[in-house]
A and B are shown apart, each in its own frame.
Chain A
Amino acid sequence: MEVEVTNEQLAKLRKAADITEIQMLMGRLIAYLEQMDAVSVWEKLFVHESEDVSVELGDYGMYKGSEHAEQFFRAYDAYLKNPADKRGWMDFRNLVTPYVVLSQDGESAYASWSCFAPQAKQALPFPACERTLTAIWNASKYVCTLRRTGDGWRFVTLREVVYIRSPFELGWVKQPDCLRSEPLSDVMPDGFSRSYVYHPDAQYSPTGLYNWGPFPPDEGSF
């Protein structure tokens, strides 16, 4: 039986395909970071030559524009490949709850994922005064904007918002964040990191000082 596909039905199929492609793009980013290959994230997954580009991972600060974003990824890649602090290194990113909002013209998108992952890094678990290899629970959110290109969807902005990096033995009330990232060589951020780190004394509300944002835009709002 042949049926005629309406434009509305076709648009729905295309939207579902776009959302799937964006999820797989994020999956590929996770795969590269697991390979400790940050250069491929930049070279294969980002739009280039755009001043809208930015990257902000955890407390590394924000790097704006293509040139600085590329410098960040190359510096971060060099850090990942430096064995100095990679003894016992574990850096999983377990993403769930994808939420993708497409623009009205279908050419750009917002996407976010929650993350909850076991990690192990040099850190400062209370009451230590020297860095030591520490088992860490990471709770965070990945917030991105994307653009459709001739090669498919690509990231324009990427932001990892860290809520919790707690020592396994202590938990997020006793020590919400036991880690500060090592400064990267030869690259300076354009803006300081915007902290969303959990604090047990903070009063949380979606409109107040302390919340679990950033929050997604409404459907049809851009």
Chain B
Amino acid sequence: MEQAELDRLLCAADIVEIQMLQSRYISELDKDNFAGIFELMAKDHPELSYEIVEAGAFEGERVRNLIAGETKKLSKKSEKRSWVGLQYLWSPRITLSKDGTRARAQWNQLSPHCMPVAPYPGSEHKPTAYWFIGKYDNEYIKIDGEWKILKVHVCAFSRPPYDEGWIRQPDCRRIYHPDSGKPDRKPRYYIYHSDAVYSGDGIYSYEPYLPEEGTI
């Protein structure tokens, strides 16, 4: 077999492994097991980063704070009544670095959720069915031949109440991490607005975008 063909087969195997790693991540989320998620990450890597929508990014060692905070928060029974936090991922696309040791991967997300929020015109937090419309934009790194998650970036474009839809109320939720401390980087907002004029490269878009092949 020629080297190019072997490289092609290995590249495909890497893509499958990364998809399975992300599926494992989702499986741990389904179990509320953030400690299990941490085991999937490049724990000691200085570029380690975890950014969940508007909670901001926790970086390096401080990802442990987020993991501990989420574990504490989700262990409270009062937080979980009526809770639906499923994460359904769609349209996978993965690009590998030239040297094959890093990867960037994206999935769209469309998921049914139910959490205590205040749907318009309510002023009271109550269990509310809503859709999560967003995207995962992650980075992965191969360490000792095994793929690990280096950066998790969860983007929300819209979280509309089930009865309202993404035009009437694009976003009914703001997450709150009282047990994790202040993030290292402020959050990036991607929330849809019905009055925004969208373009591929303007102020309003559905970024972040997948980098071109061969550019990472």
Of A54-62, A86-94, A193-201, the one touching chain B:
A86-94
Distance of A81 Cα from B197 Cα, bound (Å): 11
Neighbour of A23 across the interface among B92, B133, B200, B213, CB < 8 A: B92
Contact of A28 among B93, B157, B167 (CB under 8 A): B93
Interface pair B12/A93, CB less than 8 Å apart: no
Q: A133-B194, A135-B166 are in contact. Are A93 and B200 (CB under 8 A)?
A: no
With an 8 Å Cβ cutoff, the count of chain B residues facing the other chain is: 41
CB of A10 within 8 Å of the partner chain: yes
Q: Is B31 an interface residue (CB 8 A)?
A: no
| Minimum C-beta distance from B206 to chain A (A) | 5
Chain B min CB distance to A125 (Å): 11
For the complex, is A160 an interface residue (Cβ under 8 Å from B)?
no
Is A70's CB within 8 Å of the partner chain B?
Answer: no
A118-B110 contact given A27-B92, A31-B209, A83-B199, CB 8 Å threshold: yes
* Complex CA distance for A90 and B93, rounded to whole angstroms: 20
**Is B1's beta carbon under 8 Å from chain A?**
yes
Hey, which chain A residues are within 8 Å of B42, CB to CB? none
Size category of the A interface is 35 or more
Confirm or deny: A36 has a beta carbon within 8 angstroms of a beta carbon on chain B.
yes
Residue of A13, A20, A31, A92 touching B210 (CB-CB under 8 A)? A31
Q: Which of B192-212 contact A (CB under 8 A)?
A: 192-201, 205-206, 209-210
In the complex the two chains form, is A87's CB within 8 Å of B93's CB?
Answer: no
Contact B194 A88 (CB under 8 A): yes
Q: In whole angstroms, how far apart are the Cα atoms of A120 and B8 in the complex?
A: 39
Inter-subunit contact A86/B16 (CB<8 Å): no
Q: Is the CB of A90 within 8 A of B192?
A: yes
Shortest beta-carbon distance from B97 to chain A in Å: 15
Distance in Å: Cβ of A134 to nearest Cβ of chain B? 7
Which residues of A are found within 8 Å of B90, using beta-carbon distances?
94-96, 116-117
Distance of A19 from chain B, by nearest CB (Å): 8
A86-B197, A88-B195, A90-B166 given; A31·B108 CB < 8 A: no
Contact mask B107-132 → A, CB, 8 Å, 1/0? 01010000000000000000000010
- Given known A-B contacts A90-B192, A94-B110, A24 and B16 have beta carbons under 8 A apart: no
B165 within 8 A of A: yes
For the complex, give the distance between the alpha carbons of A27 and B167 in Å: 27
CB-CB < 8 A to B93: which residues of A?
A: 24, 27-28, 30-31
Question: What residues of chain B have their CB less than 8 Å away from a CB belonging to chain A?
Answer: 1, 5, 8-9, 11-13, 15-16, 90-94, 106, 108, 110, 131, 133, 157-158, 160, 165-168, 192-201, 205-206, 209-210, 213
Query: Closest 4 CB pairs between A and B?
Result: A27-B93, A94-B90, A17-B12, A36-B200
Given contacts A87-B195, A87-B198, A93-B108, 9 further A-B contacts (CB under 8 A): A27-B106, A37-B200, A88-B194, A93-B91, A116-B90, A118-B158, A120-B166, A120-B192, A168-B167
